[in-house]
Amino acid sequence: MDRADVVEGNDRMADARPKTTHQEPWRDPNARPYIEIQNVSKKFGDFVAVNDVSLNVYRGELFSLLGGSGCGKTTLLRMLAGFEEPTSGRILVDGIDMAGIPPYLRPTNMMFQSYALFPHMSVEQNVAFGLKQDGVAKAQVAKRVADMLDLVQLRAFAKRKPHQLSGGQRQRVALARSLIKQPKLLLLDEPLGALDKKLREATQFELMNIQHKLGITFMVVTHDQEEAMTLSSRIGVMNAGKIVQTGTPQEIYEFPNSKFVSDFVGSVNMFEGVVIEDEPEYVRIQSDEAGSRLYIGHGISCPPGARVWVAVRPEKIQITRDKPVEDDNRLFGTVLEIAYMGDLSVYLVRLDTGKSVKVTLPNQVRSAEQRLLWDDQVYLTWHQTAAVVLQS
């Protein structure tokens, strides 16, 4: 909050940056977390919006809170910004307890979902607003605003009012305005939610680029799993007020820890079954839903006879007309639906057990010779490492 403190912080940030970007500080037990959320709960009357959440975020991270509407992700963000006080628990930013500190004194800034640009001020005035509140000298303000507008490529629009800008330009003004004070933590509430798909993809990379350049810690709230996957160093998946899994995008996608996560992030085929053999090197699961024994190439250490779910991603399934040699992981069914998406095709296969399985195949060749057709009898198989066993 002190100016000197900010400058010092920037220096430290510059030193720390190569380390934080190349290593993964969350794997280092000695690393000091930058943002500490400790057992935070928030109740609105009887409704528990955030339920005992603990989370550490490290300097220079781009952390995403991913969840459906009403899962408490925005409430958590607003508690970090200071618009809500936690009912219990503590929030520390750079070691300082934020309890009782009003939003206008916090070292955090927020980019609002609606952008919340001041309609009576020009782009320039909007961006300068934060600096003016701190009493920064006029010449300094002008220089920093100009630099920031260069960064978001809005120099030419400095004199315009927000209503004279396109959605993408407004988004960049909002970003510039929230970055100008170089906050210790930038909170972004659905930053790309209001943009159309093409623009969203382009802006994702721009956002990452800016974050890398400035080294500011970002915390993004989103319901869009694709957005979270692209942007984030780590993702926290939220459900019903709790963080159900934290990890890198790859961890979240490939090693989901629950049915909820595997289903929420990407699409998945889930087969309910019973463990019949559980050895250190493999598991065999009898699944009536799949109509086959499923073989997983690693142990899961659970009591025999336990009810488990086997999750297989659609792109990890092979689909053939010829019968494979292996007996395990071999499903048989009929092609029910085919959706041609351009880059890939989605097949919906109805198994003899009545369950439908989704399979995606990349369209590597343009000709349609080998293509499967409706009502083709097909076998589905996957590698023993492709599936994940979920116990909850």
> In the complex, which residues of this chain contact another protein (CB under 8 A)?
81-83, 102-105, 108-110, 112, 114, 116-120, 129-130, 133-134, 161, 163, 177-178, 181
- Rounded CA-CA distance 207/205 in Å is 5
Best CA proximity match to 158, nearest among 203, 125, 197, 120? 125
- Given the complex with another protein, which of 18 and 102 has the nearer CB atom? 102
Please, which residue, 117 or 216, has the CB nearer to another protein? 117
CB of 121 to another protein, least distance (A): 9
Q: Which is nearer to another protein, 117 or 331 (CB)?
A: 117
Q: Considering beta carbons, is residue 114 or 250 the nearer one to another protein?
A: 114
* Least separation in angstroms between CB 114 and another protein: 6
Nearer to another protein, 4 or 341 (CB): 4
Contacts of 356 (CB under 8 A, 6+ apart): 336, 348, 349, 350
User: What one-character-per-residue DSSP string does 66-85 give?
Assistant: E--TTSSHHHHHHHHHTSS-
| Closest CB 109 distance from another protein, rounded Å | 6
DSSP 348-378: EEEETTS-EEEEEEE---S--TT---TT-EE
Q: Between helices 123-133 and 138-151, what is the axis angle to 10°?
A: 130
Residue 203 CB, shortest distance to another protein, in Å, is 20
Residues in contact with 338: Cβ distance below 8 Å, sequence separation at least 6, in sequence order: 345, 346, 347, 348, 372, 373, 374
DSSP state, residue 104 = G
Question: How many whole angstroms separate alpha carbon 331 and alpha carbon 45?
Answer: 50
CA 380 to chain centre: 30
- Pairwise CA distance, residues 97 & 86, whole Å: 12
Handedness of CA 22, 23, 24, 26 (dihedral sign): negative
**Residue nearer to another protein on the CB measure, 74 or 204:** 74
**Nearest residue (CB) to another protein, 96 versus 306:** 96
Between 70 and 102, name the residue whose CB sits nearer to another protein. 102
Pairing state between β 307-312 and 185-189: unpaired
In the complex, minimum distance from the CB of residue 318 to another protein, in angstroms, rounded to a whole number: 48
Report how far apart the first and last C-alpha atoms of the chain are (Å, whole number): 44
DSSP type of residue 304: T
CB 105 to another protein: min, Å: 8
Closer Cβ to another protein, 67 or 82, answer by number: 82
**Least CB distance from residue 172 to another protein, whole Å?**
15
Nearest approach in angstroms of CB 218 to another protein is 15
Which position has the token pair 């782009």? 123
Q: Which is nearer to another protein, 87 or 125 (CB)?
A: 125
3-state secondary structure 132-174: HHCCCCHHHHHHHHHHHHHHCCCHHHCCCCHHHCCHHHHHHHH
Instruction: Report the distance separating Cα 177 and Cα 163, nearest Å.
Output: 16
**Residue 116 Cβ vs another protein, minimum distance, rounded to whole Å:** 4
Q: How far is the CB of 187 from another protein (least distance, A)?
A: 9
